[in-house]
Amino acid sequence: MTVDQATLTVTKLGAHIGAQVDGVRLGGALDAATVATIRRALNEHKVIFFRGQDHLTEDGQHEFAQLLGSPTTPHPTVKSQGVKSLAIDSENGRANSWHTDVTFVDRIPKASILRAEYLPTYGGSTTWASTVAAYNSLPEPLKLLADNLRAVHTNVYDYAAKNVEPLRPKSEQYRAEFQSTYFETEHPVVRVHPETGERALLLGHFVKNFVGLSTSESQALFRLFQDRVTRLENTTRWTWADGDVAIWDNRATQHYAIDDYDDQPRRLTRITLAGDIPVGVDGQPSKPLQGNAEHYSIIAAAADLTHLSESLA
């Protein structure tokens, strides 16, 4: 399907992150020029939003995802929430803490595509933060420190330990499945984006500790750097409507689903795209410590990333 490039618009939503794309009907039949425009917008704005995509089904979402990369399986450990996509359902819990998707494996997804299925009548928005802008805002001494740090990420680290509210039965079941296979991966705290060359902080709620530092030292440094990520100037907030689709660069963002809709149902579907192994400023890649993610995703080949970069030029 050919899109008139004259009617396709990309409207910037903030200085550091976010844009709305209009004039395109998402699906698997989009022409190459439109796909290239979407890729350029994603690299520049980190998260992009599309209104009025009510026609899109799970199959259509998957077909569109294939134009942007290689879809992963829905999740490394959660098998009960879909075959092509992962159901983000409020009945299973609420991701109301800052995170980058699936950082507990070595092959972190390069992007996520999220489609609204049903929404609460109020609340339930999502906020994204630019981890590139966060890194760029650091004073030089902190950049130098971050450049030389590595952190361990795991899917069983209790980032919600301070939450004293008991989990609902379905949330307990979901968490048990989420933690059913143990993963632990060491990542650079600063990764170099394979397409743009930008540096981004690689943190979020899966971080267990910084390599070589004590628990108290790790917590202090985590707060120091994580607070830079979540500064309001580095964020954009999206109020969902029926038919909305969001795509974000998972190598350059964190996000937070806001839990302000009481007991109303909220369900979206997510497809993630295969990424590469993160590489630090020193050229050293991430390394798995426990768990094998081969069943979850391929590793995006360097040739594929080079092709993408050329298409974005």
Enumerate residues 6+ apart whose C-beta is below 8 A from 307. none
CA 166, 171, 173, 179 torsion-angle sign: negative
85 close to 58: Cβ distance less than 8 angstroms: yes
Torsion, CA 96, CA 226, CA 73, CA 308, rounded to 10: 130
268 close to 117: Cβ distance less than 8 angstroms: yes
Report in angstroms the alpha-carbon separations of 146 from 107, 131, 222, 272, 289: 21, 13, 10, 27, 21
Which single residue is written with the structure tokens 């937070």? Answer: 256
236 close to 260: Cβ distance less than 8 angstroms: no
Q: State the catalytic residues.
A: 99, 101, 255, 270
22 close to 11: Cβ distance less than 8 angstroms: yes
Q: How deeply is 142 buried, as exposed, middle or buried, from its count of CB atoms within 10 A (0-12, 13-18, 19+)?
A: middle
Structure tokens belonging to residue 224: 């120091």
Mode of pairing for the β-strands spanning 19-22 and 47-50 = parallel
Rounded to a whole number of angstroms, the CA Rg of the chain reads 19
Least Cα distance to 46 among 118, 167, 133, 116 occurs for: 133
